């Protein structure tokens, strides 16, 4: 089971500013372990962010994204108190969704 | 003769003054660009700090702290880190210190081991089996240390230096710090006994200079970007010993704690800014 994401969402002017920290190994499939065996690739492939059921961001990721990725973006149309949901899906089929409430401007 | 030599001397003086002025300008420019570089590095650190992955370890550590585990099925919530059972806030800012129940000076990590053994019923070997994480393998001690240290963020470091054993630990730490040994004839002070030294881009702090010691001591545990994980003060010391090609520094050993006490003495008064983020 993967660890929860850390999500911070707050108003920045009329936009919602979102910072997400995800716990993921993001193995490239190129690294070898101590015994010389190749460590299989294991990385987040799809990211999607929804706000009130509307997708505000979707992205396809690959192995060039770092371990424990940090995602920072803004979107329009959100208000304080509303909910956003972030979902990632990795190449082994593991999946995780976390939610956060939009805070007032910080 | 006399009349013509005077203007010549004056000319020479003027030239020298002009040269000096230019040199000063160049010097100021170099300092400007140094300051500029430093400012940009600070800005880079600031940007990184907004998404410090150490927060993930903090969250995991907090969860572990509150979870019932071990043969005694207990959480660590009654752990005495020096300010009384269960007090986490500010505890890290008053470590290392002498503990009566174990009759030794302890740092955060050795104290966590004490609690894991006493409260949860694990053996010391079990508790210390996995002190440092590796790719694909988390370390509970690392996460716990990150959580506890983070709860002292913003507080001033005030490690007590009064008990006889604390003073003794400081003296031992001092000896270890300056003692040259090993195939490279290195001591800690070889790298950390002077200001302005660095390895590649990494500044080497002079650990007996309060300003520099504070900056270092208050920012561990830290997420090491180059290693993709959180590292603790124990790991930093362990790694220094490895780099010096000294015999392995045992985890939570009296020697490692003595070195921390030595550093804490100079770092006292610094503001805790853990978990940090380092290269």
pLDDT digits (tens, 9 = 90+) for B154-204: 999 999 999 999 999 999 999 999 999 999 999 999 999 999 888 887 889
Domain residue ranges in chain B: 54-278
Looking at residue A31, which CATH number applies to its domain?
2.60.40.10
C-alpha closest to that of A89 among A32, A45, A58: A45
Instruction: Tell me which chain A residues have a C-beta less than 8 angstroms from the C-beta of B52.
Output: 21
Contact B144, B151 (CB under 8 A): no
The Cα angle at residue B253 between residues B250 and B255, in degrees rounded to 5: 100
Entry field: residues in chain B: 279
Helix or strand run (H / E) with residue A88: strand A83-90
User: Topology of B54-278 in CATH?
Assistant: Cytochrome Bc1 Complex; Chain D, domain 2 (1.10.760)
CA distance B96 to chain A (A): 31
Specify if A68 maps to a domain: yes
Specify if A34 maps to a domain: yes
Residues B110-115, mean pLDDT to the nearest whole number = 95
Q: What is the pLDDT of residue B207?
A: 94
**Does the pLDDT of residue B37 top 80, yes or no?**
yes
Q: What is the mean pLDDT of chain B?
A: 87
**Does the pLDDT of residue B120 top 60, yes or no?**
yes
Specify if A1 maps to a domain: no
Q: What is the pLDDT of residue B35?
A: 84
State the DSSP code for A34. Answer: T
Q: Three-state SS for B89?
A: coil
> How many percent of chain A have pLDDT more than 70?
98
User: Is residue B22 flagged as an active site residue?
Assistant: no
CA distance B176 to chain A (A): 32
Specify if A86 maps to a domain: yes
Q: What is the pLDDT of residue A94?
A: 92
Contact B219, B278 (CB under 8 A): yes
Measured distance CA(B118)–CA(B102) in Å, rounded: 11
Q: How many angstroms separate the Cα of B32 from the Cα of each of B21, B36, B41, B197?
A: 16, 6, 14, 20
The domain tally of chain A equals 1
Q: Given A3, A21, A27, which is nearest B60 (Cβ)?
A: A3
C-alpha closest to that of B116 among B67, B83, B64, B76: B76
> How many percent of chain B have pLDDT more than 90?
69
> Across the interface, do A72 and B59 touch by the CB < 8 Å criterion?
no
What pLDDT band is residue B34 in, cutting at 50, 70 and 90?
confident
CA distance A73 to chain B (A): 12
HEC profile of B193-238:
CCCCEEECCEEECCCCCHHHHHHHHCCCCEEECCCCEEECHHHHHH
**B60: nearest CA partner in chain A:** A3
Q: Does A12 reach chain B within 8 Å, measured CB to CB?
A: no
What pLDDT band is residue B33 in, cutting at 50, 70 and 90?
confident
The tokens describing B98, both together, are 């002498």
The whole domain housing A35 covers: 6-101
Measured distance CA(A57)–CA(A51) in Å, rounded: 9
Q: Is B21 exposed, middle or buried (0-12, 13-18, 19+ CB in 10 A)?
A: exposed
- DSSP codes of every residue in B121-162: ---HHHHTS--S-BTTB--HHHHHHHHHHHTTTTSBP-----
Specify if A106 maps to a domain: no
- Which of B25, B115, B188, B240 is an active site residue? B240
Q: What are phi and psi of B248, to 5 degrees?
A: -60, 135
Higher pLDDT, residue B46 or B269: B269
**Which pLDDT tens digit goes with each residue over B124-154?**
999 999 999 887 788 999 999 999 999 999 9
Q: Does B103 reach chain A within 8 Å, measured CB to CB?
A: no
Please tell me the pTM assigned to this model: 0.80
Q: Does B53 reach chain A within 8 Å, measured CB to CB?
A: yes
Q: Given B50, B52, B136, which is nearest A25 (Cβ)?
A: B136
């Amino acid at each position: 089971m993967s660890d929860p994401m850390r999500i911070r969402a707050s108003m920045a002017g009329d936009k919602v500013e979102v910072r997400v920290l995800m716990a993921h190994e993001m193995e490239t499939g190129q690294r070898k372990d101590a015994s010389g065996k190749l460590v299989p690739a294991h990385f987040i492939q799809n990211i999607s962010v929804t706000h009130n059921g509307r997708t505000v961001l979707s992205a396809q990721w690959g192995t060039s994204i770092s371990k424990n990725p940090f995602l920072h973006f803004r979107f329009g149309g959100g208000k304080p108190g509303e909910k956003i949901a972030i979902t990632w899906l990795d190449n082994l089929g593991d999946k995780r969704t976390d939610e956060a409430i939009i805070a007032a401007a910080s | 003769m006399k009349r013509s030599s005077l203007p010549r001397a004056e000319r020479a003086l003027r030239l020298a003054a002009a040269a000096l002025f230019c040199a000063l300008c160049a010097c100021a420019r170099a300092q400007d660009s140094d300051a500029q570089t430093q400012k940009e590095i600070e800005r880079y650190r600031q940007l990184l700090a907004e998404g410090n992955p150490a927060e993930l370890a903090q969250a995991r550590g907090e969860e572990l702290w509150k979870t019932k585990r071990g043969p005694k099925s207990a959480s660590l919530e009654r752990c005495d880190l020096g300010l009384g059972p269960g007090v986490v806030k500010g505890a890290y800012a008053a470590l290392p210190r002498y503990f009566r129940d174990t009759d030794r000076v302890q740092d955060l990590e050795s104290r966590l081991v004490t609690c894991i053994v006493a409260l949860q019923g694990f053996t010391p070997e079990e508790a210390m089996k996995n002190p440092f994480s590796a790719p694909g393998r988390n370390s509970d001690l690392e996460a716990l240390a990150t959580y506890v240290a983070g709860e002292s963020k913003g507080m001033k470091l005030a490690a007590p230096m009064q008990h006889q054993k604390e003073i003794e630990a400081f003296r031992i730490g001092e000896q270890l710090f300056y003692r040259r040994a090993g195939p490279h004839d290195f001591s800690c002070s070889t790298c950390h006994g002077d200001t302005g030294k660095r390895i590649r881009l990494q500044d080497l702090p002079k650990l007996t200079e309060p300003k520099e010691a504070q900056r270092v001591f208050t920012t561990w545990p830290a997420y090491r970007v180059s290693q993709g994980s959180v590292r603790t003060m124990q790991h930093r010391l362990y790694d220094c010993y490895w780099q010096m090609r000294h015999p392995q520094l045992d985890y939570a050993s009296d020697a490692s704690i003595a070195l921390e006490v030595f550093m804490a003495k100079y770092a006292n008064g610094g503001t805790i800014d853990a978990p940090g983020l380092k290269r």
